[in-house]
Amino acid sequence: MASIDTAALQRAIDELPRRFPGPGGVVAVVKDGAPIERYAWGFANLETHQPFSNTTQMPICSITKQFTCATLLSVTADPSELDPLTAAMLPRLAGGTPSTADLANNQSGLRDYWALTVLCGAKPEGDFRPADAATLLGLTRSLHFKPGTAYSYSNGNFRLLALALEQHSGTEFGDLMMARVVGPAGLPTASFVTETGALPGGATGYEGTTDTGWRPGINRLHWSGDAGLCMSVDDLIAWECYIDRTRDDADGLYNRLSAPVSFDDGSAASYGRGLAQSTRWGRKMSGHGGAIRGWRLQRFVVPSERLSVAIAFNHESDPHAAAMQVMAAALGQTVAPVSSDLAGAKRFLGTWLDRRWGLLLDVKINSDGTLVASYDGSAEVLSLGADGIARGLGMMLSPTTGGLRIRRPADAIDSEAEPFGALAIAPAPDLAGRYYSGELEADLEIVNAGGAWFASFHGFLGTGPLMPVTPVGADVWRLTCHRALDAPAPGDWTVQVHRSVDGKIASITVGCWLARNVTFLSVLI
C-alpha cells in the first residue's frame, strides 16, 4: 500500500481553483476510512453571496446510479424478479427484452432517453415530466444491440429500475433508497429530490466561462433512478467511510456493487451496477461522474489503497480531469499527456465514418501536441506506439487497407471507419424536406436557407430549435447540437442519407453515441 504524498496532494488541491475556474467547488480525499482533505472554495450562489462549504447541498446527478443499484441489491437477491415489471414498460419492443441485470450494467441496448428528447422536439430549457419519460420509453421498438452483448450508456435503464422497484416494493423509490441505503450508510444530510428546479439549500449551478461570465443554469427535468440524490461533501465523505468500514465483508453492499461484470460471451465488462471500473497506474479503480446544466461531479475509489477522491463544481469544468489530478498526486503519479509525433500520427488525422454504428470519428492534433480522438462525444487522448497503433484509456485505432479499425473492448466494439479525404463535399439540394420516424413518432425537417443548412425536430415534446447541419462527405452530414434538455448535450449527430437505386432519398439515419441509427423515412409533401 502506497503512502500518501501529502505535499503533492496539497499542491494539486491548491491548484484546483486556478486550473478549473468558476463560481465554486469542493474536494474531499478519504484515506483508510477517514478524511485527510476537505476543501471548499468560491461561492455556491453568486447572487446571494453564499459561500461554497462542506455542508453545501448539491445534486450528485449520475453518481446516484450506484445508489439505485444498491437499492436494487438491498431489496432482492435475485434481480430477475423484476424482469416482468421492466418488460411491461417496453410494450412495443420487438425481439429480446433486456433483463434487470442488463439495465443495471448498461448492457440493455436501449438508446439514452435524454438524447432522444432532442429528436422528439424538446427545447433546451423545456419541462420533462414523469409522463413524458413513460411515453418516450414506451415508444421503444429497437435497440442498439442484442441485450447482454455490448455496452452503451443509457439513463433510461435506471429510470426503469426505479419504477420497477416502486412497483415491486409498493414504496416510492426515493423513500426506498433512503431507507435501504442512505440511512444505513449514515449519510447525515442526503435527500432524494426528483425536481431539478427545486434543489435544497440555495446553491446554484452556473453556465458560462471566465470570458463570457456566469449565468444560472436552468433545469426543468424530473429524475428517477438515473439521478436525484442531493448531498454535501460531508455526505460523500460518509459514503466513502462506509465503503471502507465494510471492505472486508464479502457480502457488503459496495463489494457486491463493484463485483466483476461480464458480457454474455464471458468477456469482461467495465461497467456494472452504476459503477465504471478501470485500471490506472496498475491499480483497480471504480467510480462515476455526474452532470447537469451548471453542475459537474466525479468520485473515484482505489480499494487496494483505501483511497477515495470526490470533487464537485457548480460550473461546467472537467471534474474527471480534476479528480484524476488529485488522485495522481496522492499516489505520487502523473497524468501528463503524451505528445505524439505529427509525422507518425498524420495517417490517423481527419474525419472518418463508422457506418455500422452511424458515428463520425474525428482525429486531430491539439495545440499541446497530443493526438486526440472524438467518437463517443468526448475527446480521448491517444499515444502512438511503435507498432503503429494509437492507444487511449478505452480506445485503440489501427490503420487498415480501407480506413481505421476502432476497438473499444470495454464497449464490446470492434468496427471499421472509412475516410472522407477523397470524397467531394457538395450539398445535395434534394436533402431539404421532411422525414418521419415511426419509432419516435417524430419528424425531422431539413431546410436550405440561402445556402445555410439547418435542421429541427418535431415530436410529442414540441418543436425544437433549428440546429446547423454541415456536409462531411457524400450524403453524410454533421448536425451540431450544443444545447439540449439534458446537459451536457449529446454532442454532434451524424446524418446519413440512404438512396434507392434511382438516386432518390429513401431514408435518413440520425445518430450519436448515446442514440445511434434512428431511421427517418422520406415524406412527400
DSSP result, 270-281: SEETTEEEEEET
Which runs of E-coded beta strand occur in 303-368?
A: 307-313, 350-354, 359-365
Of the candidates 35, 55, 288, the one whose C-alpha atom is nearest the C-alpha of residue 155 is: 288
202 sits in which H/E element? none
Q: Give the span between the Cα atoms of 279 and 178, in whole angstroms.
A: 31
Give the three cell numbers for residue 178: 433512503
Q: Of the residues 62, 108, 270, 286, which is catalytic?
A: 62
Give the three cell numbers for residue 127: 419541462
Q: Of the residues 3, 31, 53, 65, which is catalytic?
A: 65
65 noted as active-site residue: yes
Chain centre to alpha carbon of residue 464 = 22
SS (H, E, C) 362-417: EEEECCCCCEEEECCCCEEEEEECCCCCEECCCCEEEECCCCEEEEEHHHCEEEEE
374 noted as active-site residue: no
Enumerate residues 6+ apart whose C-beta is below 8 A from 211: none
Sign of the torsion formed by the C-alpha atoms of 212, 216, 221 and 224: positive
Q: C-alpha angle 104/110/114, rounded to 5°?
A: 95
Q: Give the span between the Cα atoms of 388 and 397, in whole angstroms.
A: 9
423 sits in which H/E element? none
Annotated catalytic residues are 62, 65
